Amino acid sequence: MIAQRMVRYDALPPPFRSLRESLPGSCESHEKPVPNCRKRRKRRWNRSSSPMLHWPCRRRSRPGGKTFMHHEQAGQSDISIDMRFLQRDDEHEASREFTLRIPLLCVLGLAFYFGWIFCLFWSPVLLPSAAVGDFEAHAIRTVMTVAMFVAYVAFGLFARFFASRRGELLLRLTSLLCCPFGCAVAVLPPAGDLALPALLWCASGVGSSALLLVWSKKLVILNRKQIIFSASGAFLGGSLLLLTMSFLPTGVAALLVSSLPVVSVLLAWLVLSPSVTFAPPDEDGAGFTLSGREDPIACAGLDEAPPEPSGPADGNEADGTDRFSFMRTVLLAFAYSVGIGFVGSSATVHAYYPYAVYVIAAANALAAVFTVLFLVRKSRDIALILTEVFLPIMLVCIFVFSFASYVGQLACLFAMFALLACHDIVDIASVSKSFRLFDENYVKTFAVGRTLNGLGCTLGWIVGTVMCFAFPGDPLGRMFICFALVVLLVVATSFAVFHPGPLSYVREVRLEAERSARSIALEAGAGRALELSTRIVAGRYDLTPRQAEVLYCLAQGRNAGYIAEKFTISAHTAKSHIYNIYNKLGVHSQQELLDIVESEGVPEGPQTVLDVH
C-alpha cells in the first residue's frame, strides 16, 4: 500500500535493496503498475473513491497526517506508522461506532410478549374492582406467579422433549390456548368464589412461561448486542401497549390484551418458519445472512455476527468459569425478581391508580433507552455493574418507600421499576448466552435461567401484599417489612458475588488473574530471550553499544524510521547504523539478520531465559 510511495529502488544501497525485496508490501511484489504519488494522493483525499483498508473494525484510514510518509523512511516504516495511526483512530472511535443487525420481526414479536406480561401484572382492566377486590386481585396474581414458577420447573425437567418438533408445537399451542384465559375474568359476572378466577390466571401464567420459551429459540442464535437491542425495543413497545390498554373500556381492553400473546406466537412462527433460514457466518466474520421471506423486512441493514465460541486451551476451565458466571447470573436474577415482585405488588394497589400506570410505563421506556445508550457499550459482565451501582440505589428506594409521602412513593416506584427493567433486559441476554452450557437446548437454558425468577417474583409479591394490606397505616410495620426485604436482597447478592464458595465471583476473578499472570510471564520471558540473543550476537560480531541497541530493534521487526524516532537521531544516521550492522554480520536483508539472531543467539551452558535480569 503506502510502501509503494518510496524512493526509487535503484537509488537504495545494496543492503536496503535486499531488505526492500524482502518486505511483503514492496513494489516488486505487485504485477500491476503502481500509480504515481500525486495521483494516488489526490485519489486518497477523495473519500468516495479512496481504497478501503480491510481491518476487522471496518473503518477506512483518515487522509493526510502521518498516513503519508516521505522518502526518508523505509517502506515498512510507513506501514507500521499507518497501523499505529489506525489503531489510535480505532481506539478513539470504538466507543462511538459499531454495527448491528437488528431482527425487526423479533423485536415486534417480543414487544407483543412484553406488552402482554406488563398488562397481566400491572394493568387494572384485567382484574377490575367491580369483579374482584383489591386484596383478591393481589392473591390471584400471587397464584399466577406460583404457576409460572411450577411451569418453568416442568419445562426444565422435560426440556429434551419440548426442544423437539412436537414439543415446540406443544409450547406454541399452550401459549395460544392458555394465555387468553386470564382476560376472561374481566368480562365474567362477579362471583364470590375466587377458585375460577385463580384457575384462569394460573393457565395464563403457564401460557406466559411457554411463550417465553417459544421465543428463546430465536434469542439463543442472536449475539449479545442484538438481544439487548431487541429486548430494549420490546420493552419500549410493551410500555406503550400497557399505557394504551389500561385506559380503554374493560371489554375492549380485555379483548385486545388477549390478542397480544396470539399475535406474538404468530410472529414467532413466522420468524422460526423453515422458509426462513440462517446461513453460517462468512469467513471474515461479517455476520449471518438471511434468506427467505424474512430477508427484505427482518433486518435493519446492520451487521454484527454472533461471536463464535473461542475459549482457551483448557476447555474444562473455560466451561467451569462459564458455569460459575451463569450461576451468579441466576442468583442475581433471583434477588432482582424479589424486588420486582415487591414493587409490582405495591404499585398495583388501587390507591396508586391511575398514576401507577404512567409511572410503570415511563420507567420501562426509560430503562429501554438507557440500556441501549449506555449498557450495550460496556463489557460483557454488566451484571457486576448493576450490582455495584443499581442495587444500592434500589435498596435505598425500598427503604424510603416505607415512610415517604404519596409523591415520594411514586418517585421510588419509578426508580425501582427503571432499575429492575434494566436488569431484566441484561438478564435475558446473559441467560441466552449460556446456551452451550446445556447442550444447546434452548428450552433447558431459559427454563433453568428463569426458574428462580418465578420463585423470587412470588416471594416479592407476597412481601408486598403483606406490607400493603397488613400494615396499611402503620409506618413502623412497613419500615420493618422493607428493612427485612433489604436484608434478604443484600444476603442473596452477597452470596452470588462475594461468597468464597463454588459459585463465587471471587473464584472467577482468581482464575482470570492466574491466566493473565501466565500470559504476562510468557510475554516477559520472550522479551528477555530476544534481548539475550541480541547481546550474544552483538558480542560475537564486535558491534558497538549503539549498534547493539539498533540490532535489538531490528530483531523486533522495527525499521529505520522507528529507530530514528526512538534514539532521537536522523533517518540517515539510522540507515548508516543498519548498513554497518549488515556489513559486520554479512547479511543483505532483515530476514537473514533474524536468522542469525535465532540460530547464533543461543547462550552457551545451562543458562535459561529466567536467569537473565
Domain boundary, last residue among 90, 113, 135: 90
In the chain, the number of structural domains is 3
pLDDT of 382 reads 56
Same domain assignment for residues 67 and 125: no
- Residue 338, Cβ neighbours under 10 Å: how many? 26
> Residue 203: its pLDDT value, please?
93
Mean pLDDT of 410-436: 86
Position 586 in a domain: yes
**If you average pLDDT over residues 163-171, what whole number do you get?**
91
Is the per-residue pLDDT at 462 higher than 50? yes
pLDDT value for 270? 87
pLDDT tens digits, one per residue of 296-343: 333 333 333 444 433 333 444 445 556 667 777 777 788 888 888 898
* pLDDT of res. 358: 92
Q: Which of 14-23, 437-446, 516-525, 598-607 has the lowest mean pLDDT?
A: 14-23
Distances (CA, A) of 305 to 185, 286, 488: 45, 6, 40
Distance of alpha carbon 10 from alpha carbon 421, whole angstroms: 68
- Last residue of one domain, picked from the residues 64, 90, 116: 90
- The tens digit of pLDDT for each residue in 220-248 reads 888 777 888 889 999 999 999 999 988 88
Query: Is residue 294's pLDDT more than 70?
Result: no
Instruction: Supply the pLDDT for residue 184.
Output: 85
Whether 119 contacts 241, CB under 8 Å: yes
Question: 189-221, pLDDT tens digit by residue?
Answer: 766 678 888 899 999 999 999 999 999 988 888
Query: Residue range 127-146: average pLDDT?
Result: 84
User: Lowest-pLDDT range, 17-26, 316-325, 339-348, 383-392?
Assistant: 17-26
Task: Kindly report which listed range (172-181, 240-249, 366-375) carries the lowest average pLDDT score.
Answer: 366-375
Dist. CA 473–CA 467, nearest whole Å: 10
* Sign of the Cα pseudo-torsion (457, 352, 393, 219, in order): positive
Alpha-carbon gap, residue 430 to 330, rounded angstroms: 9
* 444 and 537 together in one domain: no
| One domain for residues 392 and 342 | yes
pLDDT digit string, tens, across residues 554-611 = 888 888 888 888 888 888 888 888 988 998 888 888 888 888 888 765 554 444 333 4
Q: Which residue has the cell 400491572?
A: 122
Report H helices in 73-133: 75-93, 104-122
Cell numbers 420501562 correspond to what residue? 364
Could you give the CA distance from residue 366 to residue 527 in angstroms, rounded to a whole number?
Answer: 50
- The answer to whether residues 257 and 350 belong to one domain is yes
Higher pLDDT, 32 or 120: 120
Instruction: Read off the C-alpha cell for 25.
Output: 508490501
Residues 233 and 84 in one domain: no
Arithmetic mean of pLDDT, 91-114:
69
Residues 430 and 384 in one domain: yes
Local confidence band at 53 (pLDDT 50, 70, 90 cut-offs): very low
Q: Which residues contact 141 (CB under 8 A, 6 or more apart)?
A: 121, 127, 201, 345, 348, 461
Return the percentage of the chain with pLDDT > 90, whole number. 17
Q: Clarify whether residues 394 and 539 are in a common domain.
A: no
Q: What is the pLDDT of residue 542?
A: 85
Same domain, 61 and 113: no
Say if 370 falls within a structural domain.
yes
**Any idea which of 307-321, 389-403, 437-451 has the lowest mean pLDDT?**
307-321
Rounded to whole angstroms, the Cα distance separating 167 from 158 reads: 9
Which is more confidently placed, 11 or 68?
11
Q: Is residue 307 part of a domain?
A: no
Q: Any residues with CB less than 8 A from the CB of 145 and at least 6 apart, and which?
A: 205, 341, 454, 457, 458, 461
pLDDT score for 144: 92
pLDDT (mean) for 175-181: 91
With a cut of 90, say whether residue 77 has pLDDT above it. Answer: no
Q: Is residue 399 part of a domain?
A: yes
Tell me what pLDDT residue 210 has. Answer: 94
| C-alpha closest to that of 213 among 281, 125, 152 | 152
* Higher per-residue pLDDT: 19 or 80: 19
Residue 334 lies in a domain: yes
What is the span of the domain harbouring residue 8? 2-90
Q: Nearest-5° angle of CA 153, CA 158, CA 163?
A: 115
Task: Out of 42-51, 220-229, 368-377, 394-403, pick the least confident.
Answer: 42-51
Q: Which three cell numbers stand for residue 74?
A: 523505509
Instruction: Give start and end residues of each alpha helix (H) in 304-354.
Output: 315-347
Looking at the predicted structure, is the pLDDT value of residue 21 above 60?
A: no
Q: What is the pLDDT of residue 518?
A: 58
Given 27, 60, 90, the domain boundary residue is 90
Whole-number Å distance between alpha carbons of 413 and 482: 13
Statement to judge: residues 475 and 383 lie in one domain: yes
Are residue 84 and residue 112 in the same domain, yes or no?
no
Do 260 and 396 sit in the same domain of this protein? yes
Whether 308 maps to a domain, the answer reads no
Of 390, 407, 397, 382, whose CA–CA distance to 342 is shortest? 397
- Give burial (CB, 10 Å; 0-12/13-18/19+) of 242: buried
Residues 21 and 123 in one domain: no
Query: What integer pLDDT is reported at residue 238 of this predicted model?
Result: 93
pLDDT digits (tens, 9 = 90+) for 139-161: 999 999 999 999 999 998 998 89
Q: What is the pLDDT of residue 414?
A: 93
Range 360-383 average pLDDT: 76
Closest CA to 328 of 452, 224, 422, 149: 452
Domain with residue 494: its CATH number is 1.20.1250.20
Q: pLDDT tens-digit profile of 493-518? A: 776 655 444 444 444 545 555 555 55
Would 280 be classed as within a structural domain?
A: no
89-102 residue pLDDT tens: 444 443 444 455 67
- Binned at pLDDT 50, 70 and 90, residue 277 comes out as very low
The CATH number of whichever domain residue 538 belongs to comes to: 1.10.10.10
State the average pLDDT for the chain.
Answer: 72
| Residue at 24 is within a domain | yes
DSSP string, 229-264: HHHHHHHHHHHHHHHHHTTS-HHHHHHHHHHHHHHH
**Percentage of the chain surpassing pLDDT 70?**
64
